[in-house]
Structure 1
Amino acid sequence: RVEEAESTDLSFQGPDLESLNQRQERGGDVRALVAGAWGFTSFNRLDDVDEMARAAIAQARLVGGGPVKLAPVPAVADRVPRALVVDPAELSLDDKVERVRAMNAIVLAYGKPITTSTSYYADRRARIWLANSEGTGLYQERADIQAGIAALAAGEGRVQRRSFSTGSSTDASLPGLTEEAVLDACRQCDGLTQAAKPKAGEYTVVIDPKLAGVFAHEAVGHLSEADHIHENPRMREIMTIGAELGVPELEIYDTGLVPGSRGALRYDEEGVLAGRADLIRGGRLVGRLHSRETAGALGETPTGNARAISYRFPPIVRMRSTYIGPGSATREEVFKGIKRGLYCVESQGGQTNMEMFTFSAGVAFLIEDGEPGELLRDVTLTGNTFKTLKDIEAIEDVTTPSEAGGGCGKGGQAPLPVGFGAPHLRIREVRIGGD
């Protein structure tokens, strides 16, 4: 695998341009599978490829006698050029700096209680060649562009933060990065300095598509990555194909085929077509995310989920774009009948530990008689993933994609571009932290 790439990243801290970097990279890697064991080397000089191939083979022989068996896939020969709407290479460095400076200035001009801001932009364009001993030969072009801002406010003896980010694999103009989106983050940050915490307890909760998409990624997607499953007997027992994991209307899938998504790709780093992989359908587990190695270990089919952030790393099982499919309820029906509950919007971070999760909502609103009202701060949602999936009461009839900045981290490889999306979900008996 050989890769050439150019990248730009810049950031503002308050009014100051804090960092500005442009890089060019060229390198490659060799993976060798010998007697069921892997060897891996990476290099920066193409003249070293023969030596690195011999070194990878020697590593695998030293490990010796491993259990690895690759699931078979057809050899492919293909070229996949970028299908860009706006190429980041068409924008000057000054254009990129001034775009972010203008968004940053909106935050700084908002006034009290906002005290400072951070903002950033990053893009990367890559050309990747892949060949293997089974006859596959691929050339792919990929791009990733992202930007974001954060507002920090101080008031009532506490500090609050609200952020907004957006990204794309095809459009460096980032049409989602608008003045209104930045102002909305500022207004919410302002409001949070005066907002109350919710009373701790169990609530009927509506989560918006951004938070629901993060939930699908973190709580379901990672559990579906087959390298976790085949190495963990307990997870193999829980994540049994056919197991009932959620309500009958629930559908969750992962795909590389959504144009413009940050998780879009035609082939993964093993040359496997990155098509749609259904995880939950009809509320039951119907599939997992696989590399050729994990598919071979579990006797299943590769799904095109072997990914690496660059040639410096071997591919591991990773998500692409993970979605909850649409249900049958209108937006109004999702909220209808909730006497007292919470509407949780966006994610401010979270963590998962096996099937347990904790997420912090970006903001939340108290629902009374089906209507969101009072703004609330510092709202955390905790629970068991599988109980929560069975406690879903309504799924909106529209799935909304979300292309945020940042990325996914796993196995020392971060940030990996991914996408996600979901409808609004109504869930009963969600444990909420608070006063």
Structure 2
Amino acid sequence: MTMATLGYGAQERAVYAQDPGRSRGRLHPEPDSPTRTPFQRDRDRIIHSTAFRRLKHKTQVFVYHEGDHFRTRLTHTIEVSQIARSLARALRLDEDLAECLALAHDLGHTPFGHEGEDVMHECMAPFGGFDHNAQSLRVVTALEHRYAEFDGLNLAWETLEGLVKHNGPLVDATGAPLGKFRDSELPFAIRTYAQKQDLLLGTWPSAEAQAAAIADDIAYDAHDLDDGLRARLFKVEDIAEVPFLAGILEEVDSRYPGLEEQRRIHEIVRRQITRMVEDVIREGMRRLEALKPQGADDIRAAGQCVVGFSAAMADAERQVKKFLFARMYRHPDVLAVRKLVARIVRELFGHYMQQPEDMPREWAQGMERLSGADRARRVCDFIAGMTDRYAIEEHRRLFDDTPELG
């Protein structure tokens, strides 16, 4: 199959792509821009937001000072954006919307990667828990204070829809929560925003949103493998445990015998990304051809994802994640650091709940009138917005025994 067959270079949007000229608008009406589409405008607002800049000092797996070459939330976001645009271009979608959603998808993440989110969920359990996708929605609809006429970024309906439905529909036809919310309720941020604007929580999002979501998985798998190898948490030869990766390793070693380690790792990772991207394009084209959608709303009503892995690649991707979970996320060195950063987040939350006056003035103002869930949510918003470095500095300011993470 040639590059042309896969759709590379296609410029004209397909009939099922999201048309920026037919956006459902913004919660707070604004005049159209004479130079940018609604999605280009959203992309620019996200890039200029405070939350986006903070991604530079929020980590994925490693804490911020462990090395300049390991991924941060910002570098991950840029990689997701690049893959999302490639997928959108090949599938003739709106590239700007796909890019916009990729750039925004991690804005709600806490400091300290996965562990920070887990501890925040634990701290917020009595108050409805914590979910980073819901927090991303909260950031762009409430917590960014930049514009004179509204809180948040006042993004287009299609951007908010794709952001909140990053993993697919949130409720069934009766309105009952799905997936990880099946036995509880939708997060506070989603429930409260749904009272202002209907984001069609029971449908799939646009194909552009689906492209951004699968791009997130592709980037995650590739860069975690890259970071794990460079951190020497496992050896290149260990990845042969995964048949998909074993084939790539054999191809690289056969073509470039004796290749130095750094180049060897890069050749493996770049092939992993390419194979996953090309698989999504082929499978996406197959699903779209079978569905024959005549508009973006046909994608929403399809009842299934239209931009995803083939069955074979989905199985391979699960095996990659299983390998990374065992060899990287559960590695003793990573677990040791996770335990320390968990303590930092947990103790900050407890302290601010008891002594909110120790938060910056703009956060502490009015806290004496808040209790229970309202107080906890204010504290949660403050901590979730912290960078790794700021969280450590705050803990050091408030406690005498801040753990050394290096």
TM-score relative to the length of structure 1? 0.22
Write 1 or 2 for the structure with the bigger share of helix. Answer: 2
TM-score relative to the length of structure 2? 0.23
Write 1 or 2 for the structure with the bigger share of strand. Answer: 1
Select the structure with the greater relative contact order (CA < 8 A; seq sep ≥ 6). Answer: 2
Larger Rg: 1
